Amino acid sequence: MKACLTSSVALVLLSASGVAAQQASRLTVGKPVSATLAANDTLRYELTLPARHFVAGRIDQDGVDATVTVTGPAGARVFRGARVGRGAPEAFAFATDSVAGRYTIAIAPATAGSSGVVRVQLTRSERAATTPSGKVDQAAAQLYPDTPGAVVGVMQGGQLTFVKAYGAADLTNGLPFTAETPTNIGSTSKQFTGFALTLLASRGKLSLDDDVRKHIPELKDFGTKITLRHLLTHTTGYREFINLLLIEGRQVMEGDYIGSDEVIKVLNRQPALQNVPGAEFNYNNSAFSLATIVVERVTGRPFAEWMREEVFLPLGMTKTWVRANPGQIVPHRTVGYQAGAFGFREVRDLHASAGAGGIYTTPGDIAKWMHNYKTGALGGPAVIKEMTTSFVLNSGAPANYGYGIFIDSTRGVKRWQHGGNDVAHSSTFVYFPDLDAGYVVFSNYQGVPGGIAGVVADAYFGQYMTPAPQRSSATAASGVDVPAATLRRYAGKYQMTTLGDLLLTVEQQGGGLRLQLPGQAPLPLRATSMTSFDVVGAPAKITFNAEGEGPAQSITFNQNGEHPGKRVEAQAVDLSRFAGRYFSEELETIYELSVEKGQLVIRHRRFGPAALTHTSGDNFTGTLPVSQVVFRRDALGNVTGFEAGNGRSRGIVFERIPR
């Protein structure tokens, strides 16, 4: 069975025991082969492939949610995928690099006891790419016309040097994702808000050292000055209103309405600041929402209108809009998708996201925006320098963040970058100021292959960077084979100390790991080294810090900055002491806590039940929307209430309701 370099390879379908289940059949690119995936069984397809070869394919699922794992000639895993949902196709792609020989594609039910029919087909069988565009094209091979998609753009000197779109922009109407399709870039929008205030300051309309209450006098006075500069650098001490509304019980991720004026109402109920202004970087959408209000009051025009007429159109960004609310029509835009139990489902954008997010744009327009960083044609060099200089915290430490943009370097090259997520959309924005060049990856689904951005960076800009650790192309695309004994050392629960004591759970499953993020479906981890893993389906990474032969005692979670986490072990505690009803005057909402099957469970009338895990003393962690609970006691040791939080909003007081 030898693979052709054209359109087909021969495969043998084997049962879990390795006995041939059907005759060898030639699987031609584009022609599916159906098979029954029995409960607790595994289908295995074997391919004999030459070196430097690339294979991509898909598994359509009927009645079963499957996982796919590809192993190489020596048994090393080169790919593992587990997209959530029975109706969504499971895609795979890998390259053999210099390792010729027999490769095995294993397909198993994601849930024990489930079964159904799968249709397996190859979609590509070709030489591994050697050109930058070819490498990107193969990295995106898992995106198909009937799946949500993405667009990749590479920019230099204000021009697109490469742009290509993949997948669908609108599954309902069968519209493809194109280079000209406006898409939601989420928090990547923050740099535009930072530019807006800096531009207005340069025109004498305001000062970045103004007290925010000068422009929004109805905001609560916390007894200390909070400046516009604090707004743009995530250092205000305000609660983050979206996360706070989640704790209140608002179903934000399901499209619950949030009024544009709600951020002021939320902050005015906050009893005290979470930190001294300027002392702590705490990523905060409230501040950027307030910034849009400042723009509107200073200019006397709606934020979306002012941005289009004063920023976008002067730069020639004709396909860029601020979407003020999810009902606003953006011509030919993408639709956002999540994976559900029966395939992809359409979801709405966040309400009240303008300023913090909400911008729809294209790679072509972003190329013009990037070039303005170099030329300062709009605003002037002083404005660009101001907004791209790292803010310095009160301690004297750099925040590595300007006004809506992260300031750092990668492999020796200076970088200005930001990622973005809405409910479904995601974006990566990277600009190298010394090269006047950069790239973007925009998607309408957060489950797109997470390695695309890294492939773009290496393929187009690796020549300017210090060398990366050498890995085979199969490893680069699909992961490192980590021994099962090492994976066991990594499995456990980790308390994220800079994310409001959020509890992340790492589970060993089969030959790999998966991450349980609070309130979300489990996501597979793909090893990039013996200690580092990409989170499949999210723009995040995890590094395990292990010494000796024992369990890893800490991790570093990288998403919008580095966040340390420490391993926590379950401790014996009398949970009945914490059961009861609790009321928050700030949120005007009630939680009920009870002990069920040996766990402390929290409920709200609009969510729950959700288990709380004891970490130490009176401290518990849980899933979103409440990831941190610290109980309060009186002088006699009686539980009187607790403080709740979820990282960006914390210290929300709940008082125990007497029985």
The values of phi and psi at residue 29, to 5°, are -55, 125
Q: What is the mean pLDDT of residues 598-612?
A: 92
Instruction: Kindly state the percentage of the chain with pLDDT values over 70.
Output: 92
15 exposure class (CB count in 10 Å sphere: 0-12, 13-18, 19+): middle
397-413 confidence digits (pLDDT tens): 999 999 999 999 999 99
Coil, strand, or helix at residue 587? Answer: coil
Task: Give the integer Cα–Cα distance in Å for 241 and 73.
Answer: 52
Residue 521 pLDDT grade (very low, low, confident, very high; cuts 50, 70, 90)? low
93-149 confidence digits (pLDDT tens): 999 988 899 999 999 888 778 889 999 999 999 999 999 999 999 999 999 999 999
Domains of the chain plus CATH, in order, are: 1-128 (2.60.120.380), 184-188+302-464 (3.40.710.10), 475-563 (2.40.128), 575-656 (2.40.128.50)
Query: Is there a contact between 381 and 390 (Cβ–Cβ < 8 Å)?
Result: no
Calculate the average pLDDT of the chain: 89
Tokens 């989170």 correspond to: 535
529-585 confidence digits (pLDDT tens): 889 998 876 668 899 998 878 899 999 998 767 889 888 876 779 999 999 999 999
The two tokens of residue 584 are 């928050």
Task: Give the integer Cα–Cα distance in Å for 598 and 187.
Answer: 40
Coil, strand, or helix at residue 411? Answer: coil
Task: Give the integer Cα–Cα distance in Å for 118 and 340.
Answer: 18
How high is the pLDDT of residue 83? 60
Angle at 214 between CA 209 and CA 220, to 5 degrees: 110
Residue 308 DSSP one-character state: I
354-373 confidence digits (pLDDT tens): 999 999 999 999 999 999 99
How high is the pLDDT of residue 460? 98
Q: What is the mean pLDDT of residues 194-218?
A: 98
Q: Quick one: the chain helix, strand, coil %, rounded to 5?
A: 20, 35, 45
b/e string for 628-640 if b means 16 or more Cβ within 10 A? Answer: bbbbeeeeeeebe
How high is the pLDDT of residue 16? 42
Report the sign of the C-alpha dihedral through residues 225, 226, 230, 232, in that order.
negative
User: How many whole angstroms from its chain centre is CA 37?
Assistant: 32
How high is the pLDDT of residue 425? 96
Instruction: Kindly state the percentage of the chain with pLDDT values over 90.
Output: 67
Query: Is there a contact between 307 and 320 (Cβ–Cβ < 8 Å)?
Result: no
Helix (H) or strand (E) holding 373: helix 363-375
Category of 554 on φ-ψ map: left (φ > 0), alpha (ψ -120 to 50) or beta: beta
| Helix, strand counts (H, E) of the chain | 13, 39
How high is the pLDDT of residue 449? 79
Coil, strand, or helix at residue 342? Answer: coil
Q: Can you list the alpha helix ranges (DSSP code H) found in 236-301?
A: 241-248, 262-268, 285-299
Task: Give the integer Cα–Cα distance in Å for 177 and 167.
Answer: 6
b/e string for 422-452 if b means 16 or more Cβ within 10 A? Answer: bbbbbbbbbbbbeebbbbbbbbbbbbbbbbb
How high is the pLDDT of residue 524? 81
Residue 332 pLDDT grade (very low, low, confident, very high; cuts 50, 70, 90)? very high
Contacting residues for 314 by C-beta, under 8 A, at least 6 apart: 378
Q: Is the pLDDT confidence value at 22 over 60?
A: no
463 exposure class (CB count in 10 Å sphere: 0-12, 13-18, 19+): exposed
Residue 15 pLDDT grade (very low, low, confident, very high; cuts 50, 70, 90)? very low
Lowest mean pLDDT among 10-19, 202-211, 267-276: 10-19
pTM above 0.75, yes or no: yes
Query: Is there a contact between 595 and 580 (Cβ–Cβ < 8 Å)?
Result: no
Q: What is the mean pLDDT of residues 510-515?
A: 81
CA separation, residue 148 to residues 167, 317, 420, 494 (Å): 5, 25, 17, 32
How high is the pLDDT of residue 276? 98
Q: What is the mean pLDDT of residues 330-339?
A: 95
Q: How many CA atoms lie within 13 A of 274 on its CB side?
A: 29
Question: Which of the two residues, 517 and 396, has the higher pLDDT score?
Answer: 396
436-448 confidence digits (pLDDT tens): 999 999 999 988 8
Q: Is the pLDDT confidence value at 308 over 60?
A: yes
Task: Give the integer Cα–Cα distance in Å for 99 and 475.
Answer: 11
User: How many whole angstroms from its chain centre is CA 466?
Assistant: 27
Lowest mean pLDDT among 3-17, 224-238, 582-596: 3-17
Written as one letter, the residue type at 145 is P
How high is the pLDDT of residue 478? 47
How high is the pLDDT of residue 518? 63
Task: Give the integer Cα–Cα distance in Å for 620 and 643.
Answer: 10
Query: Is there a contact between 188 and 320 (Cβ–Cβ < 8 Å)?
Result: no
Q: How many CA atoms lie within 13 A of 215 on its CB side?
A: 24
Task: Give the integer Cα–Cα distance in Å for 558 and 243.
Answer: 20
Bond prior to 539 in cis (omega within 30° of 0): no
Coil, strand, or helix at residue 432? Answer: strand
Task: Give the integer Cα–Cα distance in Å for 493 and 294.
Answer: 42
Q: What is the mean pLDDT of residues 29-43?
A: 88
63-93 confidence digits (pLDDT tens): 888 888 888 898 877 887 766 556 688 899 9
Q: What is the mean pLDDT of residues 314-321?
A: 98
Angle at 84 between CA 538 and CA 556, to 5 degrees: 30
How high is the pLDDT of residue 8? 38
457-499 confidence digits (pLDDT tens): 999 999 999 997 665 443 444 457 788 889 989 998 888 877 7
Task: Give the integer Cα–Cα distance in Å for 48 and 72.
Answer: 10
Q: Is the pLDDT confidence value at 328 over 60?
A: yes
Residue 469 DSSP one-character state: P
284 exposure class (CB count in 10 Å sphere: 0-12, 13-18, 19+): buried
Question: Which of the two residues, 531 and 518, has the higher pLDDT score?
Answer: 531
196-207 confidence digits (pLDDT tens): 999 999 999 999
How high is the pLDDT of residue 74? 82
User: How many whole angstroms from its chain centre is CA 340?
Assistant: 17
